[in-house]
Amino acid sequence: MSKVSIRTPDIVIGRLPIYLRVLEHIASNGTRVTSSQEMGEHLGISPAQIRKDLSHFGEFGKQGTGYDVVYLRKQLQRILGLQQDWDVALIGAGAVGKAIMRYAGFRGRGFHIAAVFDNDDSKIGRKINNLKILHVNVLKSTIHQMGIRMAMITVPSEQAQKVADMLVEASVEAVLNYAPVNLIVPPEVHVQHIDPVVGLQHMTYYLSSYSTLTQG
């Protein structure tokens, strides 16, 4: 029996970007050293969990001292593959797409929108943020040519699945979907959803009488 290497749980991977965000926040205060205790307070997560999560990837701290903020941040960036920026394609140059194009928060956190597509002829050739809107019929060729591996979908719900199929066909491996529908893609393609309504609905449960009337 050889030792079996255990794959790091996805739920742990999902917390790493949050840890990274906290470290960026702490660093922006000029703080040089932090601890699992301090990070946990920012996040409402137990210090033990943070240490356990990090232990999947190595030893990054010093007993008695804690973690060097800059060093741990670099390590997390390396683990998440954020040493260089990733080119991302955006499909859908409507209101949401435009807002994302103009959103400054991607640069500096590992991402760069490198191509924009739409199917509305009247939009093709126009520029958003100095980037020409391309027709979706050149999506596959452009994505291949540019070596793009990630995409964001900002088209209306009815068209989201069709766009997802095109992206899969173009060998895109990761999709951030802003349309409030659940995409069906092959298992090797990663999908994350951005749906503000889901977050709001989650919270209304606790604000409405249901939880308090029927439970604690």
Under the rule (CB under 8 A), what is the footprint of a second copy? Answer: 5, 7-8, 13-14, 16-18, 20-22, 25, 41-43, 78-82, 86, 88, 95-96, 98-100, 102-103, 105-106, 109-111, 149-150, 152, 173-174, 176, 180-182, 184, 190, 192-211, 215-216
- Phi and psi at residue 199, to the nearest 5°: -65, -40
Residue with tokens 């703080």: 31
Per-residue DSSP letter, 9? P
The token pair at 216 is 């604690």
Work out whether strand 111-118 and strand 33-34 pair parallel, antiparallel, or are unpaired.
unpaired
CA-CA-CA-CA dihedral for 160, 165, 170, 175, to nearest 10:
50
The token pair at 43 is 């996040």
Q: Which of DNA, a second copy, none does residue 129 bind (CB under 5 to 8 Å by kind)?
A: none
In what order do the strands lie in the sheet containing 150-153? 127-128, 131-135, 111-118, 86-91, 150-153, 174-177, 190-193
Asked if 4 touches DNA (CB under 7 A), the answer is no
Asked if 68 touches DNA (CB under 7 A), the answer is no
Pairwise CA distance, residues 90 & 92, whole Å: 6
Asked if 49 touches DNA (CB under 7 A), the answer is yes
Q: Which of DNA, a second copy, none does residue 29 bind (CB under 5 to 8 Å by kind)?
A: none
Pairwise CA distance, residues 165 & 180, whole Å: 16
Three-class DSSP category at 116: strand
Per-residue DSSP letter, 93? -
Closer to a second copy by Cβ: residue 60 or 106: 106
Closer to DNA by Cβ: residue 71 or 86: 71
Closer to a second copy by Cβ: residue 137 or 208: 208
Closer to DNA by Cβ: residue 67 or 178: 67
Q: Which of DNA, a second copy, none does residue 49 bind (CB under 5 to 8 Å by kind)?
A: DNA
Asked if 211 touches DNA (CB under 7 A), the answer is no
Asked if 75 touches DNA (CB under 7 A), the answer is no
Closer to a second copy by Cβ: residue 33 or 185: 185
Residue with tokens 């990090």: 54
Q: Which of a second copy, DNA, none does residue 169 bind (CB under 5 to 8 Å by kind)?
A: none
Residue from 13, 18, 35, 168 binding DNA (CB under 7 A): 35
* Number of residues in contact with DNA under rule CB under 7 A: 25
